Amino acid sequence: MDGLQNSQSDKNLQQEIGILRQRIAELESDKADRSTTNYADFLFENSGETILIIDPYNMKILDANPNAARRLGYRRSELRQMAMEQIEMPRLLDATDAETSWQSAVSGTFFYEGQYRHRDGSLIPVEVSSRLVFWQGQDVLINFARDISWRKEAEQALRQVNTSLERQVRERTAELAAEKEKLEAVLGSVAEAVTMIDTDRTILYVNHAFIRMTGFDFMEARHINFNALFEFSHADQQAQADAFALGMAWSGEVKGVRTDDRNYPTLLTMVPMMDEDGRISGYVTSHQDISRFQALDKAQYSFITNVTHQLRTPLTNIKLYAELLEAGINSGKSMHYLHVLVSQAERLEHLVQDILELASLDSTEAVLDWRTIDIAEMFQQICEGNQARARRQKQTLHCQIEPDIPQVTGDPSRMRQAIGELLDNAFAYTPTEGHITATVAAPIEDNRQWITIMIQDDGPGILPEEQAHIFERFFRGTLAEQGHITGTGLGLCISQQIIQAHHGFLTVHSAPGEGASFTIWLPVDVA
């Protein structure tokens, strides 16, 4: 009996112990909850952030921490009666908003940037983190808002700096582009071939004159060493090294090489470019084809020699026959001596006159007496006046005038001179028993009325490479010199300048051994 009672007592004791343990656990749990609540309350009341507790269903503010009241300029009691739309500016869902808004997949917190309105109406830029939680038996939104005015001011300042830099970059880029265009225009217009090379003499830049002169385009030139374009002697290379060592330019006459491997004489100048440390970083070069200048020098020398010879001959004859006339004044040859003297004086006069004519045609008053000219009538008179000359030199002059030749405006004496110079040239180059053909026509070319005067001979002709220079003053072709044909090389130049003064032009068609054909082209409608 006593055993049963003891067993029952133990069971009751165990139950009481369990109840006590449960109560102790509850008490400890309540204590922990109170600690957590107290800690949360402490953070809420003392946080430096703006904290708002919001009803997610009507967006009414349930509570606000003291910092929120200070930042927004309201009392806490006032905030608890307000809706979020009264302090938060509506956000525009644009690209910028999308960039500043995102949601954490782990915590479920939504982050965005917005603006809160202060009581005085000013706007405060804020960075908001908003999270839906269950608090005191209900769902609430807790918004933590951080004032980011300083960041926005920094961003605005940075944007202004970026805008200013972008503007300066655009302006400087435009200036550089304009300078580049101006430089390219200048380099493209100069007659000299300009290149830019590095210290290894690899070509970095060429202008249009270089392409025209050498035949190499820019893409081809990039793969060519500059030294391969010229024939430098050992003395040239040494002189360059000496000049560049002193930071000075070098200039000299060398032979250039074209893309077809033909050589041409050129005056080359190389100027070193220095970097900030005073070291050579590359070279700017320019060169020009001086073959025409050399040909001109040769032609001028030949002209002076020829003129000297031409002057010496009549002067010698005049002196000789003057002495003969003086010594044999009573002889029967006096009239013959006088005739020779007059002839040689006339020859001398003609030579001097050619030189004076060339000088006068260089002036702006080369053509003065503008009149209406009947070219057909003038040409007929010139042909008839030269028939006796043709017979005397045992040559044939055939003239042909097509019908309905219109009149032109010009200087009759100058026009007669231009045609006469071409006829003189034909008589000089046509051999004995040779033929000269002169034709006047009125073709229409390029929808324009022209008068053409063509004079053709059957002389030795003109070499193809010399035809481009045939109208240059003092120039006399190789075949003329080989055939010992007299002349100063001024007649064709005089004719061309007269025709150009009449707004026309002079052309030549010739081949070695087939004679030459010169054609005057005069526009009819030029006054």
The residues, ordered by sequence, that sit 6+ positions from 21 with a Cβ below 8 Å of its Cβ are none
Distance separating alpha carbons of residues 229 and 193, to the nearest angstrom: 12
Question: What pLDDT is stored for residue 155 in this prediction?
Answer: 85
Q: For residue 122, what pLDDT band results from cuts at 50, 70 and 90?
A: very high
**Which of 44-48, 49-53, 130-134, 279-283 has the weakest average pLDDT?**
44-48
* Domain layout of the chain by residue ranges: 1-44, 47-147, 190-289, 294-361, 371-523
Bridge-based pairing state of the strands 435-441 and 396-401: parallel
Question: What pLDDT is stored for residue 28 in this prediction?
Answer: 56
Is residue 93's pLDDT more than 80?
no
CATH of 371-523, one of 3.90.650.10, 3.30.565.10, 3.40.50.150, 3.90.870.30: 3.30.565.10
Question: What pLDDT is stored for residue 340 in this prediction?
Answer: 74
What is the CATH T-level fold of the domain 47-147, as seen in this structure?
Answer: Beta-Lactamase (3.30.450)
Bridge partners, 400 (sequence order) = 439
Distance separating alpha carbons of residues 339 and 337, to the nearest angstrom: 5
Bridge partners, 521 (sequence order) = 452, 505
Which carries the bigger pLDDT value, residue 217 or residue 526? 217
Residue range 11-21: average pLDDT? 65
Which carries the bigger pLDDT value, residue 62 or residue 478? 62
Give me the long-range contacts of 347-356 (CB less than 8 A, separation at least 24).
347/313, 347/314, 348/311, 348/314, 348/315, 348/318, 351/307, 351/310, 351/311, 351/314, 351/488, 354/488, 354/490, 354/491, 354/494, 355/307, 355/488, 355/490
Question: What pLDDT is stored for residue 178 in this prediction?
Answer: 76
Is residue 149's pLDDT more than 50?
yes
Which carries the bigger pLDDT value, residue 301 or residue 241? 241
Bridge-based pairing state of the strands 138-147 and 123-135: antiparallel
Is residue 483's pLDDT more than 60?
no
Question: What pLDDT is stored for residue 356 in this prediction?
Answer: 66
Of all residues in the chain, the percent with pLDDT exceeding 90 is: 31
Q: Is 399 exposed, middle or buried (0-12, 13-18, 19+ CB in 10 A)?
A: middle
Average pLDDT, the chain: 82
By C-alpha distance, which of 382, 367, 507, 383 is closest to 445?
507
Contact between residue 154 and residue 71 where contact means Cβ atoms under 8 Å apart: no
One-letter amino acid for residue 146 of the chain:
R
Question: What pLDDT is stored for residue 364 in this prediction?
Answer: 47
| Strands, sheet with 193-198, edge to edge from the N-terminal-most edge strand | 203-206, 193-198, 280-289, 263-274, 250-257, 230-231
One-letter amino acid for residue 142 of the chain:
I
Question: What pLDDT is stored for residue 384 in this prediction?
Answer: 92
Question: What pLDDT is stored for residue 487 in this prediction?
Answer: 62
226-239 pLDDT, tens digit per residue, is: 998 999 999 999 99
Residue range 356-364: average pLDDT? 60
Is residue 393's pLDDT more than 80?
yes
Can you say whether residue 515 is alpha, beta or left, with left for phi > 0 and alpha for psi between -120 and 50 degrees?
left
Question: What pLDDT is stored for residue 397 in this prediction?
Answer: 94
- Under CATH, to which class is 190-289 assigned? alpha beta
Residue range 470-482: average pLDDT? 71
Distance separating alpha carbons of residues 504 and 526, to the nearest angstrom: 9
Question: What pLDDT is stored for residue 121 in this prediction?
Answer: 92
Question: What pLDDT is stored for residue 135 in this prediction?
Answer: 79
190-289 matches 294-361 in fold: no
The 3-class secondary structure across 26-44, one letter per residue, is: HHHHHHHHHHHHHHHHHHH
The residues, ordered by sequence, that sit 6+ positions from 424 with a Cβ below 8 Å of its Cβ are 491
Which carries the bigger pLDDT value, residue 436 or residue 175? 436
Question: What pLDDT is stored for residue 468 in this prediction?
Answer: 83
Q: For residue 27, what pLDDT band results from cuts at 50, 70 and 90?
A: low
Q: For residue 5, what pLDDT band results from cuts at 50, 70 and 90?
A: low
Distance separating alpha carbons of residues 390 and 394, to the nearest angstrom: 6
426-446 pLDDT, tens digit per residue, is: 998 899 999 999 999 999 988
Q: What is the pTM of this model?
A: 0.41
The H or E element that residue 467 is part of is: none
CATH of 294-361, one of 3.20.190.10, 1.10.287.130, 3.50.50.60, 3.30.450.20: 1.10.287.130
